């Protein structure tokens, strides 16, 4: 049965000045939010809200109908979850100032209590791409949920990789769920939902992705997760804000070491100096979080070619990227044969194309 207070949770959330703290003040003073919504000005002031905010509430409630606004959520298959609900994420409930309201496309699952945040730069290197794909693939193989922000770069790659590995992933937005930001990642969002994942936000419908919304979004990403992994991030990257939130929430921060000459490695390398856990494999994360029982699922298997050409090429490929021209030169096979064989093996999941004709052997 739907909580009769849901339309009023949503209605109050439509007022930007009413955050989780002020909403809790109302709930502590009034028996329910419906009563608070219809209360007189002096009664609302007695709950602890200042006069200017009370005026804003009175002004807003003349313009909107809580039930009409709530019906818009149902029309879009968006579910509202409040901090009073049992399905509210347990890890998120533990952070300072957790969101009072979450909007969700999809569903929360019990396994989401075992989640890892994966974040990083919007402009990743070939190395960053390889690391992200390998870490995420192995984390979802261990039945961990991947949480990220659907941003361009590492975030989107983490979601994509989780979906391709048949894993679960949750995207957290800094805008209302009636729009996907950035728009170029709409297909990724659709794939997340089609594979049983979820897209969430604390922002009501119609909220644009304003700059100051992203730090709030980032605290949810880290707050839902046992730990946050940073893969490539410049010195001023928003990913470092997520890492700082994780520290403030008493959660583990992991960083992937990178070249001292790559500006995109400044962020994680600095985190390592400050005590973040260095990550070179998914096992590093599982060990640090005492999830050792899951490591048995990460045992790699030998990759075997299905024909002579595949065997020749697989012997040349390692975990370090190798250019297709070098494969042609070393194998002695015609370029067309190498290109066709690599394409077929990529479809089989035996090799991975990192872009720019750089290939690595895939982890099974």
For 162-201, what is each residue's pLDDT tens digit?
Answer: 999 999 999 999 999 999 999 999 999 999 999 999 999 9
For residues 122 and 270, membership in a common domain is answered with: yes
Same domain for 315 and 288? no
Tell me which of 273, 298, 323 is where a domain ends: 298
pLDDT tens by residue, 129-148:
999 999 999 999 999 999 99
Q: Which residues contact 349 (CB under 8 A, 6 or more apart)?
A: 362, 364
Shared domain for 126 and 47, answered yes or no, is no
pLDDT, tens only, 10-58:
999 999 888 888 999 999 999 999 999 999 999 999 999 999 899 999 9
User: Does one domain contain both 323 and 288?
Assistant: no
Do 313 and 288 fall within a single domain? no
Q: What is the pLDDT of residue 294?
A: 58
- Helix, strand, or coil here: 20? helix
Q: Domain check: are 270 and 172 in the same one?
A: yes
Nearest Cα to Cα of residue 267 among 236, 242, 229, 244: 236
d(CA 340, CA 70): 53
The domain total for the chain is: 3
Domain identity same for 164 and 238: yes
Report the CATH number that the domain containing residue 233 is assigned in CATH.
Answer: 3.40.50.450
- Alpha-carbon distance 349 to 363, whole Å? 9
105 within some domain: no
Q: Is residue 92 part of a domain?
A: no
Mean pLDDT over 47-74 rounds to 93
The last residue of one of the domains, among 23, 54, 75, is: 75
Task: Answer whether residue 96 is part of any domain.
Answer: no
Q: In 3D, which of 262, 285, 273, 351 has the Cα closest to residue 315? A: 351
Question: Do the domain assignments include residue 122?
Answer: yes
Mark whether 188 and 264 lie in a shared domain: yes
Domain interval for residue 142: 110-298
> Can you tell me the distance from the alpha carbon of 205 to that of 207, in angstroms, rounded to the nearest whole number?
6
pLDDT score recorded for residue 144: 96
Whole-number pLDDT of residue 300: 47
CA–CA gap between residue 144 and residue 147 (Å, rounded): 10
Residue 93 belongs to a domain: no
Tokens of 81: 């979850």
Cβ 168 vs Cβ 146: under 8 Å: yes
Find residue 148's DSSP bridge partners.
171
pLDDT at 318 > cutoff 80: no
Q: Which of 298, 320, 342 is the endpoint of a domain? A: 298
Pair (262, 333) in one structural domain:
no
Statement to judge: residues 208 and 226 lie in one domain: yes
* Same domain, yes or no: 258 and 116: yes
Could you tell me the pLDDT band of residue 340, with boundaries at 50, 70 and 90?
confident
| 162 and 39 share one domain | no
Please report whether residue 333 resides in a domain. Answer: yes
């Amino acid at each position: 049965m739907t909580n009769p207070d849901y339309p009023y949770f949503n209605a109050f959330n439509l007022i930007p000045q009413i955050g989780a703290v002020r909403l809790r003040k109302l709930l502590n003073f009034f028996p329910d939010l419906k009563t608070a919504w219809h209360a007189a000005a002096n009664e609302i002031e007695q709950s602890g809200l200042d006069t200017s905010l009370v005026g804003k509430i009175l002004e807003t409630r003349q313009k909107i109908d809580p039930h009409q606004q709530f019906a818009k959520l149902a029309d879009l298959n968006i579910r509202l979850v409040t901090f009073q609900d049992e399905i509210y994420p347990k890890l998120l409930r533990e952070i300072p100032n957790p969101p009072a309201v979450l909007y969700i496309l999809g569903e929360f699952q019990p396994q989401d209590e075992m989640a890892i945040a994966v974040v990083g730069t919007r402009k990743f290197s070939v190395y960053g791409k390889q690391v992200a794909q390998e870490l995420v693939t192995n984390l979802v193989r261990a039945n961990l949920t991947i949480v990220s922000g659907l941003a361009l770069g590492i975030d989107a790659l983490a979601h994509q990789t989780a979906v391709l590995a048949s894993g679960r992933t949750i995207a957290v937005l800094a805008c209302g769920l009636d729009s996907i930001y950035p728009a170029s990642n709409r297909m990724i969002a659709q794939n997340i939902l089609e594979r049983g994942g979820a897209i969430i936000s604390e922002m009501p419908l119609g909220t644009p992705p304003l700059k100051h919304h992203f730090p709030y979004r980032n605290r949810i990403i880290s707050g839902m997760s046992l730990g946050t992994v940073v893969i490539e991030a410049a010195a001023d990257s928003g990913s470092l804000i997520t890492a700082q939130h994780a520290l403030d929430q008493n959660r583990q921060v992991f960083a992937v070491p990178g070249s001292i000459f790559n500006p995109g490695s400044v962020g994680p390398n600095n985190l390592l100096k400050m005590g973040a856990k260095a990550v070179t494999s998914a096992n590093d994360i599982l060990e640090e979080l005492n999830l050792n029982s899951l490591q048995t699922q990460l045992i790699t298997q030998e990759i075997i070619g299905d024909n002579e050409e595949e065997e020749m090429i697989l012997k040349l490929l390692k975990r370090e990227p190798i250019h297709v021209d070098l494969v042609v030169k070393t194998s002695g096979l015609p370029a067309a044969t190498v290109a066709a064989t690599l394409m077929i093996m990529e479809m089989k999941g035996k090799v991975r194309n990192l872009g720019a004709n750089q290939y690595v052997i895939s982890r099974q």
